[in-house]
Amino acid sequence: MLELKRKLLLKQAEKGAEPQEKLGPKASLDKVFVGRAREVWNAAESQYPEVIKRLKKALVELVEKGDLKGPVDGEQLYSFLQRLGLNVRLETKIRYIEGGQLKTIEEKLRGE
């Protein structure tokens, strides 16, 4: 019995010796967001602030527990938000190269 207590205390001491960094919500999400995920998240945050605030708490909790590990890219996050009923509108620009210059469709229609 004493041996078990000693082992338990050793395990607890080892866990206590490891520095537990408490990351902020943004840093926790940045650990899993890759590609354009941050852009999608910012657009959703500006369009649905209350919902995203609650969702941020849940996602940060999942990241800190280790339940949400792998990278989440922009397409996955966008699809997830759509399944939740959040139709996030992203800024879209169509550009093309003409005469060695990158131009937008707007410039093409204006005749520039």
Q: What is the pLDDT of residue 110?
A: 86
Q: What is the pLDDT of residue 17?
A: 45
Cα 95 to Cα 39, 84, 98, 111: the distances in Å are 19, 31, 10, 14
Grade residue 1 by pLDDT with cuts at 50, 70 and 90.
Answer: low
For the chain, the structural domain boundaries read 21-110
Please write the tens of the pLDDT for every residue from 18-34: 444 567 888 889 889 99
The CATH number of the domain covering residues in 21-110: 1.10.8
C-alpha to C-alpha distance for 1 and 17, rounded to whole angstroms: 25
Listed residue (5, 65, 59, 58) closest to 30, CA to CA: 59
Over the chain, what is the mean pLDDT?
85
Average pLDDT over residues 51-69: 91
Instruction: Please determine, for residue 16, whether its predicted confidence score (pLDDT) is greater than 60.
Output: no
* CB neighbours of residue 55 within 10 Å: 18
Q: Supply the pTM of this predicted model.
A: 0.68
H or E segment and range at residue 95 = strand 95-98
The full DSSP string for 38-55 is HHHHHHHHHH-HHHHHHH
Angle between helices 37-47 and 49-65 (to 10 degrees): 140
